[in-house]
Amino acid sequence: MKIKTIKDIKDLKGKKVLLRVDFNVPLKENGDVQDDTRILESLETIKFLKKNKAKIIIMSHLGRPGGEVKENLRLTKVAKHLSKLLKIPVKKLDEVIGNDIETAVKKMKDGDII
């Protein structure tokens, strides 16, 4: 039996795709990405989804904050690094649930990345 992949889905245009990635990458003291290997490994999938006009919602974590919000473990610099690699805007949101998230997702255009 062949295992299906995202590339087996015929029509992604306008579909919301929740993409769980492991962007738990090492950071420099200034918060910049030190080693982007994990980010680079996800680019093929992200580019495929963008090319096929999906609405891409990327989900990841950074570090192990133990249920607390720690500013140094926010994904802001990771999102900026991803945006630089893709050469397109990547919108970064601080929350994971709530009205702000719902509104941002509703406003997405085909090919947008949050």
Reported CATH class of domain 6-106: alpha beta
pLDDT at 95: 82
Assign 33 to helix, strand or coil: strand
Kindly list the domain boundaries of the chain, sorted by start residue: 6-106
Q: How high is the mean pLDDT in each 10-residue block of the chain (114 residues)?
A: 88 96 91 93 97 96 74 86 96 88 95 96
- Contacting residues for 16 by C-beta, under 8 A, at least 6 apart: 54, 55, 57, 105, 108
pLDDT at 114: 95
pLDDT at 70: 72
CA–CA separation, 46 and 7 (whole Å): 11
